[in-house]
Structure 1
Amino acid sequence: MPAPVARLTQRKDYLAANSGKRAPMPGFVLLVRARSDADPAMRVGITVSKKVGNAVIRNRMKRRFRALVREVLPTEGLAGADHVLIGRNAGIERDYAALKAELIKALGKLKR
């Protein structure tokens, strides 16, 4: 049974994830930080800065990232860890299959 996926809501959690492991990919940067609590739930946060584009583009990227997370994280994610996806400029025109392959590759890197 895959671990449940919750959302990161507080700024301190995003800042804490920044001190964890990072896996830069062409479309995004994945930050993963293991929490030291007994909770096996995975938490995920998504952020896309204004440098990437206007509100329409940023929201489209966030929707794509949320779909990726729903599809990939329950099976490939690290249980009991916080995952943060940071959107990059190259992620706008990348197709969904490429982003999915990159996310699986990034999670595989960080599991080692």
Structure 2
Amino acid sequence: MLTKRADFVRASQALRAPAPGFTLQARVRSDGEAKGVRVGFTCSKKVGNAVARNRAKRRLREVARAVLLAEGQDGWDYVLIGRPKVTAALPFQQLLDDLSRALSRVHRTP
């Protein structure tokens, strides 16, 4: 799990894959860092009030849990950024499909 601001900043300067329900940022960690998949979530106040932001982050956490275990690559950091009024409203299956497509775009980029 990503918790430090520096990790989020490094991910923001790396690859991006926009999707209808969120934006995915991803980066390969350097060799000295620990292996495994790390993920972070963020929703700004543009997403809505605290209730809306928390709902959006809960949905993103579930999507990541379902998809990243199978499709995430070892040694990568992923950040999912919620979108206003969309992340909480889209059907869950569409969010799952969007993350799968976003991951395939990020991983095929040289």
User: Please, what TM-score do these two structures have when normalized by structure 2?
Assistant: 0.92
* Identity of matched residues, %: 49
Gaps of 5+ in 2: none
Shift of 1:85: 0.3
Once the two structures are superposed, the pairs formed by residues 1-112 of structure 1 within 5 Å of their partners are 7-37=1-31, 39-89=34-84, 90-112=86-108
Aligned to 1:3: none
Q: CA deviation at 1:92?
A: 2.2
Does the residue aligned with 1:51 lie in a helix, a strand or coil? helix
**Distance (Å, rounded) in 2 between the aligned partners of 1:44 and 1:91:** 17
SS of 1:30 mapped into structure 2: strand
Provide the rounded CA distance (Å) in 2 between the counterparts of 1:61 and 1:51: 12
Q: Is the 8 A contact 2:17 2:24 kept in 1?
A: yes
How many residues align? The count is 106
- What is the root-mean-square deviation in Å for CA atoms of aligned residues? 1.0
Runs of 5+ unmatched residues, structure 1: 1-6
**Structure 1 residue identity aligned to 2:91:** D
Is this contact kept in 1: 2:21–2:90, CA < 8 A? yes
TM-score with structure 1 setting the length:
0.90
Q: Which consecutive segments of 4 or more residues in structure 1 shift more than 3 A? A: none
